[in-house]
Amino acid sequence: MSVAANPASVYDIARLARTMLPGHIWDYLNGGAGQERTLGANRAAFHRLSLVPAVLTDVSRRDLRTTLLGAEVAAPVAVAPMAYHRLAHVDAEPATVRAAGAEGLLCVVSTFASHTLEEIAAEATGPLWFQLYCLRDRGLTKDLVDRARAAGYRALVLTADAPMLGYRDRDIRTGFQLPAHVRPANLAGTTGSGATVAELNSVLVDPSVTWRDVAWLRGLSDLPVVVKGVLRAADAQRAVDHGADGVLVSNHGGRQVDGAIATMRALPAVLDAVGDRCEVYVDGGVRRGTDVLRALASGARAAFVGRPVLWGLAADGEAGVRAVLRVYSEELELTMAACGCPDVTSAGPELLAAGVDD
């Protein structure tokens, strides 16, 4: 059986994906800002939280299900929005959403998807949210919202941490540009070729966005709004004050600010600030089922996964993404059992101890 069919961890799939992709594409997908300190810090923050299992709690029935803004999902693991899945595999976003649907998981589709949001929604059997970059052209931004609503997306995820693309050493070195066959399909006609991803972004994305736009967005439709990229308690509070239904604690996978705080370190203050006024999720460096459990025990409602999904896609298309998602759910289930947690609500702070055992 191939590694993609029977991986022990997402790193098995990463090794395979590495062999499938040209170096400059691998670097764009996997790189971070600057010296990639925050990229590493996201992982380190998980390692610094030890699990303290409870015993003799009856885990003969295990239930990983939860709801995310009312959508029922099989496990508290979701696919983070990522641009241009076609860079990883020709089957691109349609394959990713088929895989997420087959595993009963939520998938967030990027504004910069390489297929239209309607083409992607046509493949979905599970819940979808639409990630929105607020564009310089607000008419176009509103069109995206209307299209997402009409196509059945259940929430809007406003990305707040990328008014301009971060300073990414790897992409600067390679001069990374999109190959001619990969384009932002939702924004057809707005872009030519021959620009770097950062240039393309700066032509389209509005760096003047403020909290007022969150309220504007909230008023455009009846879709709930999640603000993605929050790291400060005060910003989480502002998100709620401006009508957000959810906050995704994220540093964009270490791709925006090198030196930004690790997401698991930022999470507790955000949770304290918003209480139960909105749902709180986390992403960045979630690589194992044990990380998902740490996120739950810290108070997050779900953990979102970025790059490993693209590793799965590159390694084996839809089957590769399924294999990746299954690894998370299976490891999460066994770890919950061994930690005395029969369901996702039974993971609390008593499951965690700060510090590393070397």
Ligand X SMILES: Cc1cc2nc3c(=O)[nH]c(=O)nc-3n(C[C@H](O)[C@H](O)[C@H](O)COP(=O)(O)O)c2cc1C
Task: Rule CB under 6 A: say whether 29 interacts with ligand X.
Answer: yes
Which among 217, 216, 207 is positioned nearest to 156, based on CA atoms? 217
CA distances in angstroms from 302 to 80, 162, 199, 306, 317, listed in the order given = 11, 22, 33, 13, 24
Total residues at interface with ligand X (CB under 6 A): 22
340 touches, from ligand COI, ligand X, none (C-beta below 5 to 8 Å by class): none
Residue 89 falls in the annotated catalytic set: no
Residue choice 33, 59, 75, 82 for contact with ligand X (CB under 6 A) = 82
CA distance 199 to 242: 30
End-to-end CA distance of the chain: 34
Residue choice 13, 83, 109, 309 for contact with ligand COI (CB under 6 A) = 83
The residue range among 10-18, 204-212, 299-307, 341-349 that interacts with ligand X, by the rule CB under 6 A, is 299-307
Task: Rule CB under 6 A: say whether 304 interacts with ligand COI.
Answer: no
Task: Rule CB under 6 A: say whether 255 interacts with ligand COI.
Answer: yes
Q: Considering only residues 190-209, where is the footprint of ligand COI by CB under 6 A?
A: 197, 201
305 touches, from ligand X, ligand COI, none (C-beta below 5 to 8 Å by class): ligand X
Q: Among all chains, which residue has been given the structure tokens 């390692």?
A: 47
Residue choice 51, 71, 102, 162 for contact with ligand COI (CB under 6 A) = 162
Shortest Å distance, C-beta 341 to ligand COI = 33
Shortest Å distance, C-beta 355 to ligand COI = 32
Shortest Å distance, C-beta 229 to ligand COI = 10
Site string for ligand X, 32-71 (x = CB under 6 A): ----------x-----------------------------
Task: Rule CB under 6 A: say whether 294 interacts with ligand COI.
Answer: no
Residue 211 contacts residue 237 (beta carbons within 8 Å)? no
Residue 131 contacts residue 81 (beta carbons within 8 Å)? yes
Give phi and psi for 166, each to the nearest 5: -65, 170
CA distance 75 to 269: 25
Shortest Å distance, C-beta 51 to ligand X = 20
CA distance 194 to 264: 38
Which among 107, 112, 110 is positioned nearest to 124, based on CA atoms? 107
197 touches, from ligand X, ligand COI, none (C-beta below 5 to 8 Å by class): ligand COI
Site string for ligand X, 157-186 (x = CB under 6 A): --x---------------------------
> How many Cα atoms sit within 13 Å of 286 on the Cβ side?
36
Give the tokens for residue 142: 């509103």
Residue choice 115, 183, 228, 252 for contact with ligand COI (CB under 6 A) = 252
Residue choice 30, 75, 85, 112 for contact with ligand COI (CB under 6 A) = 112
Residue 253, phi-psi category: left (phi > 0), alpha (psi -120 to 50), beta (remainder): left
Residue 71 contacts residue 296 (beta carbons within 8 Å)? no
Closest CB to ligand COI among residues 201, 335: 201
Secondary structure (DSSP) of 70-129? TEEESSSEEEPP-S-GGGT-TTHHHHHHHHHHHTT--EEEPTT-SS-HHHHHTT-SS-EE
Secondary structure (DSSP) of 49-74? EEE----SS--SS-B--EEETTEEES
201 touches, from ligand X, ligand COI, none (C-beta below 5 to 8 Å by class): ligand COI
Give the tokens for residue 132: 């929105």
Task: Rule CB under 6 A: say whether 79 interacts with ligand X.
Answer: no
Residue choice 21, 83, 231, 300 for contact with ligand X (CB under 6 A) = 83
Give phi and psi for 89, each to the nearest 5: -160, 145
CA distance 185 to 176: 19
Site residues, ligand COI (CB under 6 A): 83, 112, 162, 197, 201, 252, 255
* Interface contacts to ligand X, rule CB under 6 A: 29, 42, 80-83, 110, 112, 131, 159, 228, 250, 252-253, 255, 283-286, 305-307
> Could you list the active site residues?
252
